[in-house]
């Protein structure tokens, strides 16, 4: 299993980006749409660094995955989860407004990425806001390679905590190579084929059977415990470790 984040940009520079829209995704996650002063292309799965500088010179920096599709790079969508003891996320949720500028640099990350040339089938496993880089892949698949089979196994606390829920349900209804499977950990499932428990080996085995062939690549993103369980489940199902790419966030 690999989780190396390589900087594929020669020398990404810090630049200003304007906040042009803010949307509430879930009770704890907001999406911020940014227009960089100097637009850049990126690959599905990459991220940017965001830097905040206080009046006294104190600087805080965080990395956020890009949720928008590389096919439409006019705006960068960053979905930021509010953390109770966070240093940067409360500022975005409580202070940042449309019209404000923030500093960012990117794109960053070269290993946790996918393009249509990489092929499929693909198994995506996400937990909470770990969906964001996977969403970039899903959106890109829909516009550039809808025939490539892709299944998303997404874990969330409740139905209302499913980020991009309506968009994912609509993509799932199109029957365009993409299938959605939800694992709700704090309430029963609402759809046939979904689950009402935490991800485990049996669940991964079940979801793999919804692909027409073994996955060429598996992408897993979430916090450390989540990624460990999901990756172990994939390996237990016989997926070669070198085909599994992981990205972790938080402590």
Q: Domain map of the chain by residue range?
A: 15-108, 116-249
The model's pLDDT over 135-183, given as tens digits with 9 standing for 90+, comes to 999 999 999 999 999 999 999 999 999 999 999 999 999 877 899 999 9
Two structure tokens written together for 47: 């991220």
Stated length of the chain: 251
Residue ranges, the chain, pLDDT below 70 = 1-10, 250-251
- 116-249 maps to CATH 3.40.50.80: yes
What is the CATH number assigned to the segment(s) 15-108? 2.40.30.10
Q: Tell whether pTM > 0.85.
A: yes
């Amino acid at each position: 299993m690999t989780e190396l984040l390589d900087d594929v940009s020669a020398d990404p520079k810090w630049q200003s980006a304007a906040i042009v829209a803010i949307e509430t995704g879930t009770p704890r996650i907001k999406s911020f749409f940014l227009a960089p002063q100097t637009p850049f292309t990126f690959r599905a799965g990459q991220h940017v660094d965001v830097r905040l500088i206080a009046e006294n010179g104190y600087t805080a920096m965080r990395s956020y995955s890009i949720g928008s599709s590389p096919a439409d790079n006019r705006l960068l969508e960053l979905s930021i989860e509010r953390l109770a003891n966070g240093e940067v996320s409360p500022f975005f949720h409580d202070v940042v407004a449309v019209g404000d500028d923030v500093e960012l640099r990117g794109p960053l990350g070269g290993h946790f990425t996918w393009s249509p040339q990489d092929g499929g089938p693909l198994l995506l496993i996400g937990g909470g806001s770990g969906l964001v880089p996977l969403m970039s892949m899903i959106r890109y698949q829909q516009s550039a390679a809808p025939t490539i089979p892709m299944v998303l196994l997404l874990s969330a606390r409740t139905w209302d905590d499913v980020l991009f829920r309506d968009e994912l349900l609509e993509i799932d209804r199109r029957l365009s190579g993409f299938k959605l499977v939800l694992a709700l950990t704090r309430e029963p499932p609402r759809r046939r084929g979904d689950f009402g428990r935490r991800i485990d080996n049996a669940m991964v085995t079940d979801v793999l059977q919804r692909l027409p062939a073994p996955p060429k690549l598996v992408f897993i993103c979430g916090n450390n415990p989540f990624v460990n369980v999901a990756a172990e489940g994939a390996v237990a199902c016989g997926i070669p470790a070198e085909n599994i790419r992981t990205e972790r966030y938080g402590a």
